[in-house]
Amino acid sequence: MGEKLEIMERMTRKEYSTRFRIPSGCAVFGVVNQKGMRFSGQTVLEGITMMHDRSNGLGGGFAAYGIYPRFAQEWAFHLIYEDRIAQQQAEDLLGQNFEILLSEEIPTDGSIRLDQPPLNYRYFLRCQKNMGKHEQDFIVNLVMNINSNIRGAFVVSSGKNMGIFKGVGYPEDIGRYYRIQEYEGYLWTSHGRFPTNSAGWWGGAHPFGLLNWSVVHNGEISSYGSNKRFVNDFGYKCTLSTDTEVIAYLFDLLVRREKIDLRLLHLILAAPLWEEIERLAPDIRKVVTALRTVYGPALLNGPFNIIIGHNDFMYALNDRIKLRPMVAARHQDYMYVSSEEAAIRKVCPSPSLVWRPEGGQPVIGRVSIPRKAKLNQKAGV
Amino acid sequence: MKKIYIKEEYCIGCRLCEIYCQVKHSKSKKIIKAFKTELDMVPMVTVEEIGHHSFAVQCRHCPDAPCVDACISGAMSKNEKSGVVTCDDQKCVGCWSCIMVCPYGVIKRKLGEKKIASKCDLCQDELEPVCVKNCPNEALVLAEEEEKDES
Amino acid sequence: MALKPRQTDFEVVRDQDKCISCQVCLRQCSNDVHEYDSDQDIIYSDNSQCVGCHRCESLCPTGAMKIKQSESEFRQNFNWSPAHIKNIYKQADSGGVLLTGMGADRPYPIYWDHILFNAAQVTNPSIDPLREPMEIKTFIGNKSDVVGVDIDQGETFNMKLKQDISPQLVLSTPILFSAMSFGSISFNACASLARAARQFGTFYNTGEGGMHKDLEIYASNTIVQVASGRFGVDIDYLKRAAAIEIKIGQGAKPGIGGHLPAEKVTEEVSNARMIPQGTDAISPAPHHDIYSIEDLMQLIYALKEATDYQKPVGVKVSAVHNVAPIASGIVRAGADFVTIDGLRGGTGAAPQAIRDNIGIPIELALASVDTRLREEGIRHKASVIAAGSIRSSADIVKAIALGADAVYIGSAALLALGCNLCQKCYTGKCNWGIATQDPYLTKRLNPNIGTRRLENLLRGWSLEIKEMLGGAGINAIESLRGNREHLRGIGIGEKELAVLGIKHAGEAW
């Protein structure tokens, strides 16, 4: 223990906690209004709170979409800093690369007692020059640059009209600390963490975010090494040693860069068994075989239940032999995904449909915002 | 009936079939003791060899066995059920008619005091004849005629 | 005749109480070690001729024989080992290059034995392969294609591949049989490999021996080699094959060609190799049309053109110091797979000085090749096959976790066929009927038995691979590939850990 404390003194919390990969068990909860109607974070807060016992107070967090309609078209960055030097360096870098439209401390509730909260800032940014289709790659590189090169600084989220709020603590405390009940979004995901390692670092909590992606995850990816090396091939650096990080990069790579249709994604990430593939109709079999052959290293192995948040959809997936719990429900325009059914019933007592998705079968809740609402959003209403 | 078939392309000429056949039909049934003390042993299977070609031959248990027809004492008989041709030591008088008519030359004189014809009995009390069982290269197989080429 | 210092390697110990003078030993020895004295009814043995192949011992029906390392010792000397002394005696005698067979036999570190694999506990359930699916199906080929899919938006969700992906070899287990030519090994050995490959759903490799006409029926499980002598290569040979491998080098003899002496070029061998009977078959050290990487690229594409881009074309190289950049060049030259053959890889004949001193172990070569290909972002453009003394299923699991797509087994396959590693393959007197063309010896290997034994080995190893995967909470082999997080070094230094890209035992994730 003595040596550990000494190590922690010499290193920043980020450095200490990203040295190792930390397997963790967890609670996940996600809810989306598929018409794009925004609702308070109170719902997701109540849902995740139901599953208190699936966390151990070492991490909780929320991803919220649609919360910044005023800046819907700008990059919204959430950053945490372990000290003012880190903040200075990061802000210098942001200033060099962007027009900073707004920079502010993220409002928090000081009455919640938490373990060493870092400095929490958010920025609304506009690229100084038009980079066209390379803009997203530029953002990815910049985020990687800050996360790996600026000591004590970490980009929590880097999308548009979305934000991630996370920290070390039980999710209900983290939620109230960030006052998420005061935000309104149309898609929320949340996470309560039970890591098998006592390292507590705010950046290491879930959700993990990159661009518009957010990942919450319950499980342990036993294919981590293969997945990591695969995304490395395409320029992603796994600096955090976490499963969620590599999952986020896989989504970004497959969906954004390789343009894999969302409906085919599970055929890669939780590929069907070869014996199942053999039984498919010839044309489909050819497609599935090709996907599994080419993207074999992207197969996520080991137990997992992940919920991916994105501006346009919520995507939930269990590992192919369903080694972790996942329940989904639908009621009116709402779709829910949770580790446990009780959490859904807490916020929606009588859903019209409740089901347990099979292993490897995705649950996709697309958001189609009616045109009028979209126009309003653009106008910053 | 199941017979022993020869795969001459795999016979390596080691003659272990002969050795095990002798032990099986010895008094002691113990290999070292039999070879060191029972000097009257005759193998009922013989490895024929020329150059690198070799094969182990033993009684074919012919359907119309000439040895049975030729036997003057009724010692040689073919079991109607099993098809196995055997020689009854008690009845054999040692006239060697069987040896003279056997087209394969696989009936031998048993060494020892009494003149008796000796021939392969397919090791009826074993699951598999010992020559087949102990062939290190599966050059002998016990099979029905139609199965003999299946491996 | 001048006096020769004589040292025998082995001692034939015969227990006369057990020996029944049946002469099985005598008939089985192609080296004329045993002699029967009918007057005395005793068998005498000449130790000096014994190669230690243990054939007589294996067939002796009474267990009367034992082949031991010779107890006759040289005066102990810490510098001059008995091996050095004997070799000098032999060369002073013959004035020639000392030949040997099989793989390097020197006490270099074997890194497989310094690597430990992982298992899941608590946070991740281990999987029982006897009750749950466990997938080890493996694909060899280029995986850099874009998978374009047309999705039918109609009521029935149907889809179609826009364009086929690159050709792949599909293996039911990540194990292939190494290149061993007909000529260096017997027809029965080749037939055993071919049939076992067919029945188990994997592939064997012709080496530079051409394809015997009786083995053409196994063509769809055959990788054909194109080596520097181009023996047996014609358009039909290429078109029949499942894949083509250009052989640049071999782990046992990097930089050295091959020489099949005229006496082994029998009628059958001459037909398969398409050379005159009774002539030496000499494979040059280099390909004389490949003096650089761009020349290799031309050959790769010539072979692809010839076979209509329908089958993977790979390149085999020995693990030399510069193997990582060489492999990178090979991948960029368009190879669909790269075979790396390590220091301990076997051969039918090689100069002992070369076999024992040239090249690097496969573990280090594999790790550095995989790392280099990853660094350059081209790892997915080709499969990597590791070769050079894979001794067990555990070696395979470690090789795949280091980054191999599959492994080649050569020596292990021969061991399954009866080989005793006597290293005398080059004499053509193999008592086990493997490395010989002598009809008296070749029939000792019954391909029915050989096929069964090879299949058994593949089955046993595959089951063990599945057990190890399941223990680590992995149910598909692709999730093991390059997953070095599951490996730990034991008893090796920082530098070796760094090359292998693994942590030391005791270090957590």
Asked if A354 and A335 touch (Cβ cutoff 8 Å), the reply is: no
| pLDDT at C157 (0 to 100) | 72
Asked if the model's pLDDT at residue B28 lies above 50, the reply is yes
User: C22 vs B7: CB contact, 8 Å cut-off?
Assistant: no
Distance from the C14 Cα atom to the nearest Cα atom in chain B, whole angstroms: 14
| pLDDT at A10 (0 to 100) | 55
The minimal CB distance from A297 to the residues C124, C159, C478 is found for C478
Encoded amino acid at B67, one letter = C
Token look-up 């050989």 returns C450
Closest alpha carbon to C51 in C9, C93, C23: C9
- Under the banding of pLDDT at 50, 70 and 90, the label for residue A196 is low
| pLDDT at C155 (0 to 100) | 66
What is the rounded CA–CA span in Å between residue C172 and residue A240? 36
User: A274 vs C120: CB contact, 8 Å cut-off?
Assistant: no
- CATH number for the domain running over B63-119: 3.30.70.20
Show Cβ contacts of residue A236 under 8 Å, excluding neighbours closer than 6 positions: A140, A144, A249, A252, A253
From chain C, the residues in CB contact with A294 under 8 A are 143-145, 147, 165, 380
Asked if the model's pLDDT at residue A102 lies above 60, the reply is yes
**A209-213, A307-311, B92-96, C153-157: least confidently modelled range:** C153-157
- Under the banding of pLDDT at 50, 70 and 90, the label for residue C270 is very high
Asked if the model's pLDDT at residue A46 lies above 70, the reply is yes
- Under the banding of pLDDT at 50, 70 and 90, the label for residue A380 is very low
Asked if the model's pLDDT at residue C154 lies above 80, the reply is no
Asked if the model's pLDDT at residue A1 lies above 50, the reply is no
Show Cβ contacts of residue A373 under 8 Å, excluding neighbours closer than 6 positions: A36, A37
Q: Residues in chain B, how many? A: 151
Asked if the model's pLDDT at residue A14 lies above 80, the reply is no
**A82-86, C256-260, C424-428, C495-499: least confidently modelled range:** C256-260
| pLDDT at C447 (0 to 100) | 97
C-alpha angle C260-C265-C271 in degrees, rounded to nearest 5: 120
Average pLDDT over residues C389-407: 97
Show Cβ contacts of residue A67 under 8 Å, excluding neighbours closer than 6 positions: A38, A161, A162, A163, A183, A184, A185
User: C446 vs B7: CB contact, 8 Å cut-off?
Assistant: yes
For residue range A127-142, what is the model confidence (pLDDT) as tens digits? 888 788 889 989 989 9
What are the structural domain ranges in chain B? 1-58+122-151, 63-119
Average pLDDT over residues C140-161: 85
Tokens of A161: 């009209």
User: C479 vs A234: CB contact, 8 Å cut-off?
Assistant: no
Asked if the model's pLDDT at residue B150 lies above 70, the reply is no
For residue range C80-106, what is the model confidence (pLDDT) as tens digits? 988 899 999 999 989 999 999 999 999
From chain C, the residues in CB contact with B36 under 8 A are 20
Respond yes or no on whether the N-terminal peptide bond of residue C107 is cis (omega within 30° of 0).
no
User: A241 vs C478: CB contact, 8 Å cut-off?
Assistant: no
Residue B113 has what DSSP assignment? S
Q: Would you please indicate which residues of A are annotated as catalytic (active-site) residues? A: 26
User: A222 vs C125: CB contact, 8 Å cut-off?
Assistant: no
Nearest CA in chain A to C469: A222
Asked if the model's pLDDT at residue C311 lies above 90, the reply is yes
Asked if C391 and C115 touch (Cβ cutoff 8 Å), the reply is: no
Show Cβ contacts of residue A280 under 8 Å, excluding neighbours closer than 6 positions: A288
- ipTM metric: 0.91
User: C380 vs A297: CB contact, 8 Å cut-off?
Assistant: yes
- Residue C484, CA atoms < 13 Å, CB-side half-sphere: 22
From chain C, the residues in CB contact with A22 under 8 A are 509
What is the rounded CA–CA span in Å between residue A143 and residue A14? 15
- Under the banding of pLDDT at 50, 70 and 90, the label for residue A233 is confident
- Under the banding of pLDDT at 50, 70 and 90, the label for residue B118 is confident
**A253-257, B27-31, C143-147: least confidently modelled range:** C143-147
Give the count of Cβ contacts less than 8 A between chain A and C: 143
- Residue C422, CA atoms < 13 Å, CB-side half-sphere: 27
| pLDDT at B113 (0 to 100) | 67
| pLDDT at A260 (0 to 100) | 93
What backbone phi and psi angles, to 5 degrees, belong to C426? -65, -15
For residue range A278-301, what is the model confidence (pLDDT) as tens digits? 999 999 999 999 999 999 999 999
| DSSP 3-state of B33 | helix
Average pLDDT over residues C456-484: 96
User: A290 vs C145: CB contact, 8 Å cut-off?
Assistant: yes
Which residues numbered 392-431 in C keep a CB inside 8 Å of some CB on A?
401, 403
Is A in contact with B (3 or more beta carbon pairs below 8 Å)?
A: no
For residue range A330-352, what is the model confidence (pLDDT) as tens digits? 999 999 999 999 999 999 999 99
Interchain CB contact of B20 with C (< 8 Å): yes
**B109-118, C121-130, C289-298, C324-333: least confidently modelled range:** B109-118
Nearest CA in chain B to C63: B32
For residue range A147-156, what is the model confidence (pLDDT) as tens digits? 889 988 999 9
Asked if A223 and A303 touch (Cβ cutoff 8 Å), the reply is: no
Set out the domains of chain C in order of their start, with CATH numbers: 10-72 (3.30.70.20), 169-504 (3.20.20.70)
CB atoms within 10 A of CB C76: 8
Give Cα C267 distance to the centre of its chain. 26
A27-219+305-378 classified as CATH 3.60.20.10? yes
What is the rounded CA–CA span in Å between residue C433 and residue C450? 11
Distance from the C421 Cα atom to the nearest Cα atom in chain B, whole angstroms: 20
From chain A, the residues in CB contact with C122 under 8 A are 196
Asked if the model's pLDDT at residue A310 lies above 50, the reply is yes
The proportion of chain A whose per-residue pLDDT surpasses 70, expressed as a percent, equals: 89
Token look-up 């023996």 returns C231
Candidates B12, B18, B26, B132: best to mutate against C (most CBs of C within 10 A) is: B12
What is the rounded CA–CA span in Å between residue C223 and residue A21? 41
Token look-up 């076999």 returns C355
Asked if the model's pLDDT at residue C368 lies above 90, the reply is yes
Which residues numbered 435-494 in C keep a CB inside 8 Å of some CB on A?
472-476, 478-486
From chain B, the residues in CB contact with C23 under 8 A are 15
From chain A, the residues in CB contact with C143 under 8 A are 293-294, 296
Asked if the model's pLDDT at residue C247 lies above 70, the reply is yes
What is the rounded CA–CA span in Å between residue A379 and residue A72? 9
Asked if the model's pLDDT at residue C117 lies above 60, the reply is yes
Is C in contact with A (3 or more beta carbon pairs below 8 Å)?
A: yes
Average pLDDT over residues C138-149: 92
User: B32 vs C440: CB contact, 8 Å cut-off?
Assistant: no
Interchain CB contact of C160 with A (< 8 Å): yes
What is the rounded CA–CA span in Å between residue C432 and residue C54? 9
Asked if A362 and A268 touch (Cβ cutoff 8 Å), the reply is: no
User: B16 vs C24: CB contact, 8 Å cut-off?
Assistant: yes
- The mean of the pLDDT values for chain B is 91
The CA-to-CA distance between both ends of chain C, in Å, stands at 69
From chain C, the residues in CB contact with A260 under 8 A are 147
Distance from the C179 Cα atom to the nearest Cα atom in chain A, whole angstroms: 25
Asked if the model's pLDDT at residue C236 lies above 70, the reply is yes
| pLDDT at A20 (0 to 100) | 61
Nearest CA in chain B to C16: B32
What is the rounded CA–CA span in Å between residue A301 and residue C468? 14
Asked if the model's pLDDT at residue A44 lies above 60, the reply is yes
